[in-house]
Amino acid sequence: MKWDSNLYDTKHDFVSKYGEDVVALLNPKNGEKILDLGCGTGDLAEIIAHSGALVTGVDSSKEMIADARKKFPHIDFEIKRAESLNYHDRFDAVFSNATLHWISEKEKAVTCIYNALKSGGRFVAEFGGKNNVGTMMATMKNALLKFGFEENAALNFWYFPSIGEYATILEKQGFRVEYAVHFDRETELKGEDGMKNWFRMFGETFFIGLNVHEIENVLSETELQLAPTHKRNGVWFADYKRIRIVATKS
């Protein structure tokens, strides 16, 4: 998936703004070495760095990393995937916001996170939980089926676990889960095309093989079906359900 870093920064900056609460949960300290896993264009890495922590930001998107390096040249940013990190006993904390639901090889990612931490290091993360954007996803799939795109409608490329499922993966690896919560967070989307832009940004995989006209037809149908439940006073909202978790390396 090729990320549109400009669309991310201009229309979906809520990702970083909501992530500021997760930074508070991280509570970074001066001199700590912290890995920002899935750093995007680097806004939260910069906030973490304000504490005096030494931050390394990693993301699988070269477009995101290129923008992060331009915006924050004083921070070390690297192109790396969560499931193939090669750090060992290096970081006091691993921080991750809105990333882990993109990782299908979740056990490999958890092993890499565990290995990257020093003994006693903490893992602090937020990501999509069970039934995240459930109505939006079901509606998109219905729209794809209406226009005859059965293979696209069958795609499942996000990983939205329950707390029990993800905590089990962490504990099996050797983490001690200290805090976990699964909560609803209705999220405002910017602009009249907020819902369409959300799918263009995060659901691009649904449109593999479709031309511009076909994509617009599917998006318009999705928008039409979602308007009664996801649009109020001209403003679009996404039905987010999030997991927030804190775990410690034993």
Helix (H) or strand (E) holding 23: helix 14-26
Instruction: Tell me how far apart the alpha carbons of residues 58 and 96 are, in angstroms, rounded to a whole number.
Output: 10
Domain ranges of the chain: 5-249
User: What pLDDT score does 70 carry?
Assistant: 96
Average pLDDT, the chain: 93
User: Looking at the predicted structure, is the pLDDT value of residue 8 above 90?
Assistant: no
Question: CA-based Rg of the chain, rounded to a whole angstrom?
Answer: 18
Mean pLDDT for the stretch of residues 87-94 = 98
* DSSP letter, residue 101: G
Can you tell me the mean pLDDT for 89-116? Answer: 97
Query: Tens of pLDDT along 162-190?
Result: 999 999 999 999 999 999 999 999 999 98
Q: Count CB neighbours of 192 within 10 A.
A: 12
Give the pLDDT confidence score for residue 1 in this predicted structure: 57
Q: Are 145 and 206 in contact (CB under 8 A)?
A: no
Classify domain 5-249 at the CATH topology level: Rossmann fold (3.40.50)
Identify the pLDDT of residue 13: 45
pLDDT category, 20, cuts 50, 70, 90?
confident
Q: How far apart are CA 106 and CA 29, in angstroms?
A: 28
Q: Can you give 155-222 as a three-state secondary structure string?
A: CCCCCCCCHHHHHHHHHHHCEEEEEEEEEEEEEEECCCCHHHHHHHHHCHHHHCCCCHHHHHHHHHHH
